[in-house]
Amino acid sequence: MATLLALLMCLLLFSALPCCAAAASPSRSSAPSAAPTPLVPALFVVGDSTADVGTNNYLGTLARADREPYGRDFDTHRPTGRFSNGRIPVDYLAEKLGLPFVPPYLEQSMRTGVSSVGLGNIDGMIQGVNYASAAGGILSSSGSDLGMHVSLTQQMQQVEDTYEQLALALGEAATTDLFKRSVFFVSIGSNDFIHYYLRNVSGVQMHYLPWEFNQLLVNEMRQAIKNLYNINVRKVVLMGLPPVGCAPHFLSDYGSQNGECIDYINNVVIEFNYGLRYMSSEFIRQYPDSMISYCDTFEGSVDILENRDRYGFVTITDACCGLGKYGGVFICVLPQMACSDASSHVWWDEFHPTDAVNRILAENVWSGEHTKMCYPVDLQEMVKLKQ
């Protein structure tokens, strides 16, 4: 077993070299060809591995999904950097909005250069940019144990750089209008627990009780939302955290006997989500020309876990791709480690859901099709609001 794990780790380290970033995000032509008239000008994405579409393909990190079997059920049937067997929620939401799949910021900046100006150079970002980076957290140090990543603070700087590039090419008035009418999707925070607080990095648990740590994170998130507001962003979908304590990694790590979720972890996450929802409602009160829709990923995910038969899932505890109990001991690095039918599983790997779950969650964000997740309005209603 030790020999096998050593071999798998070598393969993982080899695939994490920046020079191997050939499996980039699919081009915009990969999106459905029969594109309707977009409901908004653009979709911009800030986040972690729940929203990364290939950012980490360009970074030296262990947190990469540019290798098989990732992406095997994606539109192109190849790995793209998405942490799933297929699409992630932002792909389904882009489709709902009538937009092409949103490309990673680093792909765009490497192709044109960050300082490039002109209509030709902004073509790749005019309908949106994805800044999300796997292992990235609200706090800059979260996820550092995995290597390079783009934290929330760094992503905010990339958003501001994008605004400046667009303003130089389109003009200030046109860029202001573009940002006001576009949707910003924000999904980040899990790594602040998975790779920081729960691991007690730098003795953080000695300095912060769980509620104090959550308040720290929520305050940082509020500042990020305020930074977006300052550059004329008015429509934000703010995703809460999923039931992290139900992920195969923690079921295995905490010795769950019969697949019971780890209550301690989920309770901390629930408290964070409550703070995030309260913050968003207070922000709207303070800035009534803004609309932040908080979407409860925890609530939507628990609905799936508790009603697996209705949704057609066979297992809600075991990862489709992984090793050890619940597939949560070692990460997915080889096609031979994956199950044959990911659609029967809730979890794709030790932390991330399958394409089937991502579709359900996206449909809930869009219209509450299966269960209400978003407050005060879902995305379908949000895009109808006039600025």
- What is the rounded CA–CA span in Å between residue 300 and residue 245? 15
CB 305 within 8 A of CB 346: yes
Q: How far is Cα 185 from Cα 43, in angstroms, rounded to an integer?
A: 7
Whole-number pLDDT of residue 17: 41
CA 366 to chain centre: 16
Looking from the CA of 372 toward its CB, the CA atoms found within 13 Å total 5
pLDDT tens for each residue of 324-342: 999 999 989 999 999 999 9
Q: What's the pLDDT score for residue 124? A: 79
From the list 91, 349, 355, 378, the catalytic residue is 349
Place of tokens 């990339």: 158
Tokens 């922000």, residue?
A: 283
Its pTM stands at 0.91
Q: What's the pLDDT at 355? A: 98
Closest to 323 (Cα-Cα) out of 243, 249, 255, 254: 249
Interatomic CA distance for residues 21 and 59, integer angstroms: 8
Condensed to tens digits (0 to 9), the pLDDT of residues 100-141 reads 999 999 988 776 654 554 555 687 789 999 999 999 999 999
Q: What are the angstrom distances between the C-alpha of 287 and each of 7, 34, 43, 280?
A: 54, 38, 22, 10
> What letter would DSSP give residue 188?
-
User: What is the pLDDT, as a whole number, of residue 11?
Assistant: 44
From the list 136, 237, 149, the residue with the least C-alpha distance to 188 is 136
Element (H, E) at 85: none
Extract the tokens encoding 350: 């030790």
All residues at 6 or more sequence positions from 267 whose CB lies less than 8 Å from its CB, including other chains: none
Check: CB of residue 136 under 8 Å from CB of residue 48. Answer: yes
Structure confidence at residue 209 (pLDDT):
96
Which of 49, 84, 142, 182 is labelled catalytic? 49
Q: Residue 15: what pLDDT?
A: 43
CB 61 within 8 A of CB 147: yes
What are the strands of the beta sheet with 291-295, ordered from one edge?
43-47, 183-187, 235-239, 291-295, 374-375
Cis peptide before 335 (omega within 30 of 0): no
CB 163 within 8 A of CB 105: no
Q: Of the candidates 52, 4, 25, 37, which has an alpha carbon nearest to the alpha carbon of residue 333? A: 4
Q: How far is CA 172 from CA 35, 125, 169, 243, in A?
A: 28, 16, 9, 41
Residue among 249, 352, 355, 378 flagged as catalytic = 352
For the structural domain made of 43-243+263-297+355-384, what CATH number should be given? 3.40.50
Q: Supply the pLDDT for residue 122.
A: 81
Domain range annotation of the chain: 43-243+263-297+355-384
Task: Give the relative orientation of helices 297-306 and 263-286 as an angle to the nearest 10 degrees.
Answer: 140
Reported for 208-215, long-range contacts at CB under 8 A and 24+ positions apart, including other chains, are 210/268, 210/271, 211/271, 214/268, 214/271, 214/272, 214/275, 215/275
What does the chain come to in residues?
387
Give the angle 175-81-87 at the CA atoms, nearest 5°. 80
Q: Which two tokens stand for residue 100?
A: 């092409």
Judge whether 349 counts as a catalytic residue. Answer: yes
Tell me whether residue 49 is one of the annotated catalytic residues. Answer: yes
pLDDT, tens digit, for every residue of 62-92? 999 999 999 999 999 999 999 999 999 999 9
352 is catalytic: yes
pLDDT at 284: 97
Residue ranges for the chain with pLDDT beneath 50: 1-25, 27-32, 114, 117
Note the pLDDT of residue 181. Answer: 97
Structure tokens at 378: 């879902």
In the block, tokens 């992503």 appear at 155
pLDDT reported for residue 121: 66
pLDDT of 109: 74
